Structure 1
Amino acid sequence: MRDFNDPADQPVVARSVSRADRDLMALAIGVAAIIMFIGTGANVMPDVVQALQGVGLPPDRLLSNALLLNIALIIFGLRRYRDLQEEVRERRMAEERARELAEHDPLTGCLNRRAIASATDALIAGSAERGEHVGFLMIDVDNFKRINDANGHSVGDNVLQACAARIADLLPARGLLARLGGDEFACVVPFAAGMPEPVEDFARRITLHVARPVPIGHLELEVTVSVGIARSDAHAEANAQALLHMADIAMYQAKKTGKNNHCWFDPAMEKDLRERHELETALRAAIPAGEFVPYYQQQIDIETGRITGFEMLARWNSPHYGHIGPEQFIAIAEEIGVIDDLSEGLIRQALRDAREWDPSITLAINVSPVQLRDPWFAQKLIKLLVEANFPASRLEVEITETCLHDNIQQVRTLIASLKNQGMTVSLDDFGSGYSSLAQLQSLPFDRLKIDRSFVSPMSGCTDSATIVRVISSLGEGLGLPITAEGVESAEIARQLRDLGNMHAQGYLYGRPESGSETLARLADMGLTAKTRPTERHQRPPLSDVA
């Protein structure tokens, strides 16, 4: 970190001011001119006075010229001195401006990343002399990229300014506030030894004070922050860089636990972060290596027991981590920005697999909320269908209910695009995301999928059974077919059958299988594309498990 008090490291402007302030040449000229004026004037002036009175001889011409030259030199020196003073003033103003720009963030007026390090080290040293410690708080604005993308960078800048002002309002005496870059801020505050409670209270007040709507024009943007805290007495050699690193890890943990909260650094977090980084690295390498493969779970007509389709589920066959389910890598892929590539590879392979199935069997794919924000997603999906020569009518796109709250207009446009191409669109995990009836009415879904959290406990929970019955009635009233997820027992299947005709999927009908296993199952049932039409469906449907 640069020390701006080191003369050898001062800006060029500062050194120029120092030289201008000590211009020996101008000083020498002025002093010499004054001495010569005194000496010459003592000889010449009496003669000049007598000549003007008409008495005596005129003054010596050479000495008179020397006197005039001395007067000119004195005038030059005075003007040079005045110009130097003006130059010094302007250069000092430029120096202050340069120092301000070097140490402060121009957008928010906070200290910047360069300045906070030396200021933190100085505060640590000063606090140690008082018997105090310091807390380092890393503050990150939640979902800031989404705010920027949806509203533009000027609105994003206004949000950052509002957040900085709100944090500054709470900053205690001797506290430091810096913007580290992007949507990250840092606060450094002293606290009495053995009494870190004021630091935690400060972090809590930050999350509460910042989490208020930010009015910008006709908009009111909801803003929250996640805060990570590190303390200097918890590290043997605490300095600014070490505290920043620990607070950054704690902040990441605060985001993992739901955002809009604070979290203290714990050494175990560093191990978790290292493992997370290793997993991210492996995930990035796994996509081009083809380690992600589609698995398929049966969807059954609950009345006849026949297979109506399969839902594609992602699996990671990692040589290092083994067989990994989607709950362990999908969220990470979304966070690090590789979900598009991962999903595209899976869909491409799934379309090739499904092409070998009986034409009556559909393929269902899940869409990530991140993909829904891509205005070209529908076109990308159509391109994959054309490449695989797969009919759009056999593809069902599942959109989770929580996606409806992100950008309802964009979701509506996407659904219209998909349906115009002949695809069907289902609302997945219905009941878990609090979608309104108005949204169901306005969005042209083709099917509702009841979330497994309601279906699985049906046999032992009257509340769950009631919710499933209500959703089934709602679907019937809206003219939307129903698929129940999480069917794991014959009793649940019986209860669902009593509610009317619907589709079901779950472990009762078999675990998800690979593409080759799925094709073998369908071949055994006479449900492949190569089966002659007269041979199809000759085998009995799946046994009546209820």
Structure 2
Amino acid sequence: MGDKVDDLPRLDKAQRDVVMLGIATAAIILFVGIGGTVMPQVARHWLDSSATPPDTALVNALLLNIALIIFGWRRYVDLRKEIEQRREAEEQARHLSQIDPLTGCLNRRCATEKMMNALAAIGDTQYAAGFVMIDLDGFKEINDTNGHQAGDEVLLEVSRRLKSMTPPGGDCARLGGDEFAFIMPLVKDDPDSLELWACEMTGNIARPIDTEVGSLEVTISVGIAVHRPEEPIENLETAARKLMRRADLAMYQAKKEGRNRFCWFDLSMEAEARIRREMETAIRAGLERGEFTPHYEQQIDLETGQLVGFEMLARWHSAELGEVSPDIFIPIAENCGLIGPLSEMLIRRALIDAQSWSPSLTLSINISPVQLRDPWLPQKLLKLLLGSDFPPHRLDVEISEACLQENLAAVQTMIVSLKNLGVRVSLDDFGTGFSTLTQLRTLPFDRVKIDKSFVGELRRVAQASPELMHNREQQDHIVNTLVSLGQGLQIPITAEGIEDASILETLRGMGEMKGQGYLYGKPEDAAAVVKRLSELDLLAENAVATGAQPAPDPDHRKSA
């Protein structure tokens, strides 16, 4: 609508110019006609004063014609200048509409058009069209830690390096944020040269970048998709977007495989993406229908064998898909932004369930790394605690060790905020995330949980081969080291993955700790937990009737 309004003054001006052109043309015709009559009379009268003077009306008409011709000519010159200026402005606007203002690369819109042109040029030739998607690894952390000015410097240097590696006939584009791309013609029977170029590119970008805050390092994940001449094209724009989407899938596969690498598109990636979309839809529907439920795994004091608490675990029985493993639906929920609502719903139900338990029992919940980035997480957790009237000191928030590698300062702030609520905070998956001794001393964890991948190997193997015995001794040594480290820092220990009596026997010889695993039973729903606690006389109503008091906090740090 705005373009149409802007065009109205131009249309009126053009109409006036047409009228002026008509007037000027008529003036020239009249000048020729009148001039042929008046000019001889003027000449005769100028040479002979006694001659009859020219007709005054005709002389005035001639002068008016001359004025109109001069005015028309000047207007024509001005119009030519205006048209030229307008053409230059439109050309500049067109150029700016295709260029990313920060890096000077093509923008997303122009990249799509270039991709369409590349596909249209394939024909039956020996060439193919390729799209290379590039994403900077960890760029958000660079921005958050060093500021957006340093982030812009990194983007400028990365774009300069990428443009310097643009193949002949190719184009470099910035699609937005920290995403770049190449549109390039390829020889369809020569994939090796493209792989060599991709290896060189990833190595070139990985070199340190000098910024105002010092030297920074960034790597890239690269996805490559190729459209070959034998593949039919019904619509150029559809084909271009499809190729770009395939390169995007390959890029995310490169990230999953460890980053700082390239990956070719494979049809299985498209099938996986379709399944993920279907799963995301099913998760949304499952949340609305209340299909997700909390289950509870027992936590046992290994020294006394007494039940001391439960860990809440998410379970999903889908109406369409049946039982879905948490290993499947939790990563998808994290990627599509549903982990927050899902976790809050489960925590709310778990806090209500735990109200019927004895005050001596604790409840452990897992917090996703995605949730840990939410600055409002402590406030949300406080709202859940107040809404369920659940004592904060009975709640244990478990944070994965991998979170410490993302942003230690932010994690430390979050842990302090959570502890200010009165809840306990545990380090989950201890031993898998390469946390340092300094981190463990700095962060105020109340407990560490040794990952089940280490604990599960502590089996007593009768008449085992020397090789198996050697492996077992290694696992014993690893777990013993982790336990000793926790004890040295005066942090209580929980061992996950206790599946048989031999593991339990080994762990008991390593010192005081809690334990959990299938040896004590699989995770149970709320009704089964109530039945178990009733048999153990560990329900809240029983505790009130007998006047039992809440057990002292077993996770306090012991003095040296």
Does residue 171 of the first structure (1) align with residue 166 of the second (2)? yes
TM-score scaled by structure 1? 0.86
Tell me if the contact between 2:123 and 2:229 (Cα under 8 Å) persists in the aligned partners: no
Tell me if the contact between 1:527 and 1:536 (Cα under 8 Å) persists in the aligned partners: no
Offset of 1:333 from its aligned partner? 1.0
Q: 2:493 aligns with which of 468, 482, 493?
A: 482
Tell me if the contact between 2:455 and 2:495 (Cα under 8 Å) persists in the aligned partners: yes
- Work out the CA distance in 2 between the residues paired with 1:327 and 1:77: 80
Equivalent pairs, count: 527
Q: 2:524 aligns with which of 492, 513, 516?
A: 513
Does residue 71 of the first structure (1) align with residue 66 of the second (2)? yes
Counterpart residue number, 1:260? 260
- Work out the CA distance in 2 between the residues paired with 1:268 and 1:303: 50
Deviations 1:36-70 (A, max 9, x none): 44554454445445545663333331232122112
- Give the match's secondary structure for 2:359: coil
Offset of 1:72 from its aligned partner? 0.5
Residue pairs, 1:5-404, within 5 angstroms: 29-49=23-43, 51-52=45-46, 55-57=49-51, 58-128=53-123, 130-142=125-137, 160-212=155-207, 217-218=212-213, 222-233=217-228, 236-238=231-233, 239-404=239-404
- Give the match's secondary structure for 2:540: coil
Offset of 1:107 from its aligned partner? 4.3
Counterpart residue number, 1:473? 484
Tell me if the contact between 2:146 and 2:213 (Cα under 8 Å) persists in the aligned partners: no
- Residue 49 of structure 2 aligns with an amino acid whose one-letter code is V
Judged with a 3 Å threshold, the aligned counterparts in structure 2 of structure 1 residues 154 and 512 are, in CA distance, closer, same or farther, namely same
Deviations 1:381-415 (A, max 9, x none): 12211222211111111111111222222222222
Q: Structure 2 stretches of 5 or more lacking a match? A: 1-5, 234-238, 460-468, 550-560
Deviations 1:204-260 (A, max 9, x none): 334333345555542665544333222221762144233224323333333333333
Offset of 1:175 from its aligned partner? 0.7
Tell me if the contact between 2:114 and 2:183 (Cα under 8 Å) persists in the aligned partners: no
- Work out the CA distance in 2 between the residues paired with 1:508 and 1:136: 52
Offset of 1:100 from its aligned partner? 2.1
- Give the match's secondary structure for 1:59: coil
Deviations 1:280-313 (A, max 9, x none): 1101111222211111122211111111211111
Q: Name whichever of 76-85 and 111-120 sits farther off.
A: 111-120
- Residue 404 of structure 1 aligns with an amino acid whose one-letter code is L
Q: Name whichever of 160-169 and 398-407 sits farther off.
A: 160-169
Q: 2:502 aligns with which of 476, 488, 491?
A: 491
Judged with a 3 Å threshold, the aligned counterparts in structure 2 of structure 1 residues 235 and 285 are, in CA distance, closer, same or farther, namely farther
- Residue 480 of structure 1 aligns with an amino acid whose one-letter code is I
- Residue 311 of structure 1 aligns with an amino acid whose one-letter code is E
Tell me if the contact between 1:20 and 1:87 (Cα under 8 Å) persists in the aligned partners: no
Judged with a 3 Å threshold, the aligned counterparts in structure 2 of structure 1 residues 156 and 26 are, in CA distance, closer, same or farther, namely farther
Counterpart residue number, 1:458? 458
Offset of 1:190 from its aligned partner? 1.2
State the Cα RMSD in Å. Answer: 3.3
Offset of 1:31 from its aligned partner? 4.9
- Give the match's secondary structure for 2:396: strand
Q: 2:512 aligns with which of 483, 488, 501?
A: 501
Q: Name whichever of 230-239 and 305-314 sits farther off.
A: 230-239
Counterpart residue number, 2:425? 425
- Work out the CA distance in 1 between the residues paired with 2:361 and 2:230: 61
- Give the match's secondary structure for 1:329: helix
- Residue 207 of structure 1 aligns with an amino acid whose one-letter code is T
Counterpart residue number, 1:447? 447
- Work out the CA distance in 2 between the residues paired with 1:330 and 1:375: 21
Judged with a 3 Å threshold, the aligned counterparts in structure 2 of structure 1 residues 217 and 211 are, in CA distance, closer, same or farther, namely same
Counterpart residue number, 1:3? none
- Work out the CA distance in 2 between the residues paired with 1:189 and 1:379: 50
Tell me if the contact between 1:40 and 1:67 (Cα under 8 Å) persists in the aligned partners: yes
Tell me if the contact between 1:526 and 1:535 (Cα under 8 Å) persists in the aligned partners: no
TM-score scaled by structure 2? 0.84
Tell me if the contact between 2:456 and 2:499 (Cα under 8 Å) persists in the aligned partners: yes
- Work out the CA distance in 1 between the residues paired with 2:405 and 2:98: 41
- Work out the CA distance in 2 between the residues paired with 1:300 and 1:428: 17
Counterpart residue number, 1:9? none
Counterpart residue number, 1:7? none
- Give the match's secondary structure for 1:178: strand
- Give the match's secondary structure for 2:252: helix
Q: Name whichever of 20-29 and 230-239 sits farther off.
A: 20-29
Q: Structure 1 stretches of 5 or more lacking a match? A: 1-11, 538-546
Tell me if the contact between 1:137 and 1:203 (Cα under 8 Å) persists in the aligned partners: no
- Work out the CA distance in 2 between the residues paired with 1:334 and 1:216: 33
Tell me if the contact between 2:122 and 2:229 (Cα under 8 Å) persists in the aligned partners: no
Deviations 1:4-53 (A, max 9, x none): xxxxxxxx98xx79x96996655555455445445544544454455456
- Work out the CA distance in 1 between the residues paired with 2:295 and 2:133: 41
- Work out the CA distance in 1 between the residues paired with 2:198 and 2:15: 48
- Residue 387 of structure 1 aligns with an amino acid whose one-letter code is G
Judged with a 3 Å threshold, the aligned counterparts in structure 2 of structure 1 residues 507 and 155 are, in CA distance, closer, same or farther, namely same
Q: Name whichever of 389-398 and 216-225 sits farther off.
A: 216-225
Offset of 1:522 from its aligned partner? 1.9
Q: Name whichever of 252-261 and 352-361 sits farther off.
A: 252-261
Tell me if the contact between 1:179 and 1:185 (Cα under 8 Å) persists in the aligned partners: yes
Judged with a 3 Å threshold, the aligned counterparts in structure 2 of structure 1 residues 220 and 403 are, in CA distance, closer, same or farther, namely farther
Offset of 1:171 from its aligned partner? 1.0
Counterpart residue number, 2:533? 522
